[in-house]
Chains A and B, each alone.
Chain A
Amino acid sequence: MTPPQRKRRRPRPEHVPPPLPSTPPAAEGGGEEGDKKNPERLYVISGADGARAELDLVTLIVARAAAPPSVTPEQAALLRLCLAPLSVAELSAYLDLPFSAMTALITELITAELVQARAPIVRQALPDRSLLEAVMHGLQKL
């Protein structure tokens, strides 16, 4: 018996992937149109005023202060949860709130200086070998 054969995807017009940062800009003309069809990224909504913080699912959030009486119940609960560092994903799970709601909530707390956000280490064009080695070492201990 032979397994089914995969056929390489042909990019379809309605699912044009956004250009990768490393690729040259798209040919003129098609770029604007293509951008409109791409869904807005959920966690980076940049505006002139009060841009949302760039939060990743694995940004670690740590409380900097106890909840003042002015915060909402959700924010009070969040501050209690992140007395020790906790990822946005974990906060979303414990608070039972969708990711996009979490980013709005946390952005307000960052602005109010009630929490600190510790950015994740992201994959780069040239990965950091010492980081990869640290992860391998950690996995070996499992």
Chain B
Amino acid sequence: MDFKSSDTVPGPRTEDQLPHTAQAAVKIVIVGGFGVGKTTMVGSVSEIRPLTTEETMTQAGIGVDDNYGSESKTATTVAMDFGRISITDQLVLYLFGTPGQERFWFLWNGLFEGALGAVVLIDTRRLEVSFDVMGRLEERGVPFVVAVNSFPDGPRYPIEELRTALDLSPEIPIIECDARRRASSRDVLMTLMRFLHSLAMSGALT
């Protein structure tokens, strides 16, 4: 593999460096179909310019990813955009925007284990691309909220109609948002945190 000379690797800008006191990180995952606004949401709340990490998928794609020609040894690169929010001097929150397509699911083993929770970002023009994502999260026991990214030309449904269509239980929050706006994206994350907090409270009572 070609590697750039170590002197030329650009690192974080000085203002993007974490303090030495940073002891631990937590993560939240933003999932949704292609073009639904995951990266936009990550970028609008991140304190650093969003970065991209990659993984190469080889044999794990068998039977799942057969659209790329040769079925024998396909190597598909899966990219995830992510951002960062400093919570305290000790604690850092990372946000990962991850593709919801079925062929990326194998990557989720690493991604969703230990994530505090997830935001399922949906586009009312293509609601069905989010169906499988929600099923997957339910199977894995990852708590999530649903955020409807409002596109001007998208159909608008009453929240309860969406809840019925998405077959979501009444306690799962569904909110509208504009992923381009920092305050709106922050509110989505706050909704998730409040939901997680309520789960923690009810868990403590039982």
Contact = CB atoms under 8 A, between A and B. Distances in A.
Given A41-B110, A142-B45, A9 B194 contact: no
A90 interface: yes
Interface string A33-63: 0000001111100000000000011111010
Interface in A1-17: 1-9, 11, 14-15, 17
Contact of B52 (A77, A93, A100): A93
A142 to B, nearest CB: 5
Contacts of A57: 27, 53, 82, 94, 96, 110-111
B102 to A, nearest CB: 8
Contact of B165 (A5, A74, A89, A128): A5
B17 A89 contact: no
Q: Which of B9, B77, B96, B139 has the most CB of A within 10 A?
A: B9
A20 B6 contact: no
A39 B60 contact: yes
Interface string A125-142: 111110111111111101
B128 interface: yes
A137 to B, nearest CB: 8
B175 interface: no
Contact of A20 (B11, B91, B116, B140): B140
A89 B53 contact: yes
Nearest to A39: B60
Interface string B72-109: 00000100001011111001111010000000011101
Interface of A: 1-9, 11, 14-15, 17-18, 20, 22, 39-43, 56-60, 62, 73-74, 76-77, 80-81, 84-87, 89-90, 92-101, 118-123, 125-129, 131-140, 142
Given A1-B157, A73-B6, 14 more contacts: A9-B135, A39-B109, A58-B25, A58-B26, A84-B17, A84-B18, A85-B19, A93-B51, A98-B77, A123-B142, A125-B203, A127-B196, A131-B26, A142-B186
